[in-house]
Amino acid sequence: MAFFVRLNFLFIGFIFLTVCISGCITNNFESAPSSPIGEGFKDVTTKPLHSISMNEAISELNSTQMEPYYIHFIRGENIDSNGLAQRWVFGIKQKTINNFFIYDASGISIISWKSWMPVNEIFVNEILTPDDLFKMHSSKLLPYFENGNISHTQLEIIDKEYHIIFESGESQVTLCFDSQTGTPKNC
């Protein structure tokens, strides 16, 4: 009887191994991936971000037909060494309403703002464009971009002053210029 029980276990073990092994060496191609042959890997890397001039952003602002509006704040985010930004933010007053107009590679966004906005209006036709300012002061600004340690650069125009902010880790350097003449100023 003991011989019969051992033979039973041996037979069941043999069946179990046969089933397991046959699944590994089957020629059944029905379970093959459903993607077309030759498709291979797809490039999923992001494209370089689009650099935008302040004038291009102002043109987009004008296309929204939000007029009349008054610009009281301008910020360029991720500024490059040519004075172009990946995103422009304009603080706009319209009668009793404040808005932030945001323009970047993904398009236009308008955000209602119920808080403080700088008092003085910025007349964009009376100031230097950021690209002109960067050309004028390239010897002073380029070393920050060439340093390689800068993690974020932004530009702000408030009360007739350019503030160019270079951030690196926990340190920050701010350079200030008159927005109409480009003359360096103390911050």
- DSSP code per residue over 74-114: EEEES--TTS-BSEEEEEEEETTEEEEEEEETTEEEEEEE-
pTM for the structure as a whole: 0.71
Q: Could you tell me if residue 158 is inside a domain?
A: yes
H or E element in which residue 58 lies? helix 54-63
Answer for the pair 108, 66: CB distance below 8 angstroms, yes or no: no
Find the range with the poorest average confidence among 89-93, 140-144, 174-178, 179-183. 140-144
Q: pLDDT of 128-173, one tens digit each?
A: 999 999 999 999 999 988 877 788 899 999 888 999 999 988 889 9
Q: Could you tell me if residue 34 is inside a domain?
A: no
Q: Could you tell me if residue 136 is inside a domain?
A: yes
Total structural domains in the chain?
1
Q: Could you tell me if residue 82 is inside a domain?
A: yes
Q: Bin 37: left if φ > 0, else alpha if -120 < ψ < 50, else beta.
A: beta
Note down the domain range covering 172: 54-185
Q: Could you tell me if residue 32 is inside a domain?
A: no
Q: Could you tell me if residue 96 is inside a domain?
A: yes
Q: Which one has a higher pLDDT value, 33 or 98?
A: 98
Find the range with the poorest average confidence among 25-34, 56-65, 114-123, 162-171. 25-34
Task: Report d(CA 59, CA 65) in Å as an integer.
Answer: 11
Answer for the pair 178, 122: CB distance below 8 angstroms, yes or no: no
